[in-house]
Amino acid sequence: MMGLLLGGVLTAMASDVAAGEQPQDTFQTTPTQFRTTYESLRLPQGEKMGLLGGTFLFDTYDWLAVGGGAYGALAGQRGGFITIGAAAELHKRFGEHAEINTGLFVGAGGGRGGYTLQGGGLMLRYHAGAQWHVDGMGALGGGVSWVDFPDGAIHSFQPYISYSFPFQALILPGWVSLDKDETETSRNMPMVEQEFAVVYRRYTIPAGVRTDTGQQQHNSIGLVGVEWDRYLNRNLYMRVESEGAMQGQSNGYMQILLGAGYRQALTDGSWLKLSVAAGPAGGGGVATGGGLLVDAQLAFQQKLSDHLFAQAGLGYALSPGASFRALSYSAGLGYHFFSPKMGAGIVERDSLSGFEARHFRIRLVNQRYLKDAPNWRSHHANLNVDLLGFQMDYFLNDYVYLTGHGIGAYRGMGGGYMTGLVGAGLHLPVPGTPLFAEVDALVGAAGGGGLDVGGGAVWQGDAGIGWQLSPAYSLLASYGVMRSVRGNFRARVASLSLGYSFSLPFR
């Protein structure tokens, strides 16, 4: 099964090279699905942990899909147990409704149990199942899964249930350009409204809240993260958000929430937004019980330009059945855009005239932290830490990009460590060769796994050399340093990543 990811990449690279020889007049939409799963894992001493999963899968062929996802504890006693990683799946449709599938998730992370439970943090999840597609409503399914932490204590076989929401994505391979002049077809094309924001959130915690060990919880936690809103109509939207602690005494705390909201216009360019979200959260000693966090927010949003906006919010978060609850204050800066709403099939280049092709790159990243201080970890200080995750780059032009990554430990007895960083970089092609050089700098939150990151605030700088394998695919090797702002964590960072460059039409 682990060959699925490599096989899919290699065959896609071959077709990408052929397609890159001349500009495309047409583009094929990509069948995509967002799948949620729920299962109950058996842990040592008869303990059970309810695990919620969310995965984006993109069809590379009609029988193979690849993507990425995350899993988090939602019931039991392991709030804060979260992993992220890559996924691959084989599937076969029978008629209009029935489907069978089998796949693999390779992830990193853990939490709330230390290295004795999840070892280095490597998670392997194998599944075999089926689902039934209902027109216009998605697909309901189920099956069996095997979840294994090879150097930890989790080895569990269980049934699961699933819900999949299928849609078509228009992903243009490589970096393409589109005509700026609108045509009648592009002018009348249906569009989807979306927003993406970088957010700082501060939890103010009342005196009665206790940690998961019964101690008094520190009175505040500062978090940094991202939000993505996708509008269903002019007012209703779906939301996905992820944040991690960078201030206070709860490094390692993380939350991944899924929810919905309503937007009400106040004036031309200002709105009120009310949202409710829920999902897995915990770590850093925060008492979230089994892991479920419920969050309600009221935010004011102000348009700054055609695309940029600022927002400020007030909210309340709590873990049902557990001690944690807090008032939240947030501020964010975001980007507002429209993308084409596509059905399955071929899209003519002319129908996208008037849209701007924005250039992105997503990277599957493997990193190694090399010890650079004697007390950088609270245990296993002589072991390096290996990490796996994803990095997304948005190119402002051919040379400057904004970037962000989320990665977790999978080897080195650092299970439970995760980090999320944002920053900027410089991309410098070497003329006449497929080589390029890059430097970047990032800041953000990290914690868990016994790495001494203080309150959770960290920064990282890297420089590297890359090879453009094809118009879409690239390899990048880099080396840098990572430091915590207030803790003893110091590491040299060696990275190797496989990148996929693509364009998305925005307006």
pLDDT digits (tens, 9 = 90+) for 180-230: 777 766 677 889 999 999 999 999 999 999 998 889 999 999 999 999 999
pLDDT in tens, 29-61: 999 999 999 999 999 999 999 999 999 999 999
pLDDT in tens, 69-123: 999 999 999 999 999 999 999 999 999 899 999 999 999 998 887 788 899 999 9
Determine whether domain 350-506 maps to CATH 2.130.10.10: no
Beta bridge partners of 330: 201, 313
pLDDT at 4: 44
Interstrand relation of 64-75 and 82-94 (parallel, antiparallel or unpaired): antiparallel
Residue in this structure with the two tokens 């596509």, named with its chain if needed: 342
Judge residue 18's burial from the number of C-beta atoms within 10 Å of its C-beta, 0-12 exposed, 13-18 middle, 19 or more buried: exposed
Is the pLDDT at 7 greater than 70? The verdict is no
pLDDT in tens, 301-360: 999 999 999 999 999 999 998 999 999 999 999 999 999 988 888 888 888 888 899 999
pLDDT at 136: 82
Beta bridge partners of 159: 144
Domain 30-169 shares a fold with domain 191-340? yes
| Percent of the chain that is helix, strand, coil (3-state, to 5) | 5, 65, 30
How high does pLDDT run on average in the chain? Answer: 92
pLDDT category at 427 given cuts 50, 70, 90 is very high
H or E segment to which residue 10 belongs: helix 3-19
Q: Locate the domains of the chain by residue range.
A: 30-169, 191-340, 350-506
Residues near 303 by Cβ (< 8 Å), separated by ≥ 6? 269, 270, 309, 336
The Cα 256–Cα 244 span in angstroms is 9
What counts of helices (H) and strands (E) characterise the chain? 3, 27
Determine whether domain 30-169 maps to CATH 2.40.160.20: yes
pLDDT at 165: 93
Average pLDDT of the residues in 470-492 = 96
Residue type, 94: F
Angle CA(445)–CA(380)–CA(75) in degrees, nearest 5?
55
Average pLDDT of the residues in 456-460 = 95
The percent of residues above 70 in pLDDT, for the chain, comes to 95
Terminal alpha carbon distance of the chain:
39
CATH number for the domain formed by residue range(s) 191-340: 2.40.160.20
The DSSP result for 192-258, as a single string, is EEEEEEEEEEEEE--TT-BBTTSSBPPSEEEEEEEEEEEESSSSEEEEEEEEEEEEES-TT-EEEEE
Distance (Å) of CA 343 to CA 46, 171, 317: 48, 13, 38
The Cα 150–Cα 106 span in angstroms is 11
pLDDT at 183: 72
